Amino acid sequence: MTKMTDLYPDGAGYHQAHDPYIAAVAKAVAAVGYPVDDWSAEPNDPRDGYIGLNVDLLSETSTKAIWTNEEVNLAWTEDRGWALVTVTESHRSDGRFVYDLPVARVASPSTMAFALAEQVGDDVTVQPDNHPDLDFDHSFEDDDVPFELALRHYAEKP
């Protein structure tokens, strides 16, 4: 039986284990036509990350109201899963809105591309990938080998 100490014998790598996963989702989102400005996998506790979409490019070609926001991001945290986050500053509100996406905690990149399109009301064709949608009742405070293995699934094989 695999233990956390088997996966991270000296503790190294734990805080970067989600990097390849966030990168794979960013690549899938870009492949269906959502230009990615940048992405980041943060080594926080709980681990999190985001994919920033280029709203300037999208607002030129789309009539969707979502692209008039100053920022549109996909955000992931290991304790919460995926959300769409929009930011528009105004005198009426702080302008930050979070829309939880109804996907697995470690949803496949193609599932995430489809979830984004569905949330913003776009009709896009998403090619399925060879990654499973894996859901977990996970807390970063607990050793969770299956969750770690799901993240490691996206790491490049030697």
> 84-113 pLDDT, tens per residue?
999 987 666 678 899 999 999 999 999 999
Q: Which residues contact 134 (CB under 8 A, 6 or more apart)?
A: 104, 105, 106, 107, 146, 150
Query: Which residue from 83, 109, 115, 85 is spatially nearest to 97, judged by alpha carbons?
Result: 85
Work out the average pLDDT over 38-55.
Answer: 96
What percent of the chain lies above the pLDDT cut of 70?
Answer: 96
Residue 11 has pLDDT above 90, yes or no: no
Gap between the Cα atoms of 32 and 110, Å rounded: 9
Work out the average pLDDT over 110-127.
Answer: 92
Q: What is the pLDDT of residue 65?
A: 79
Q: Please tell me the pTM assigned to this model.
A: 0.92
Mean pLDDT of all residues belonging to the chain: 90
Residue type, 93: S
Reduce the DSSP state of residue 120 to 3 states and report it.
helix
Gap between the Cα atoms of 63 and 79, Å rounded: 34
Banded pLDDT at 158 (limits 50, 70, 90): low
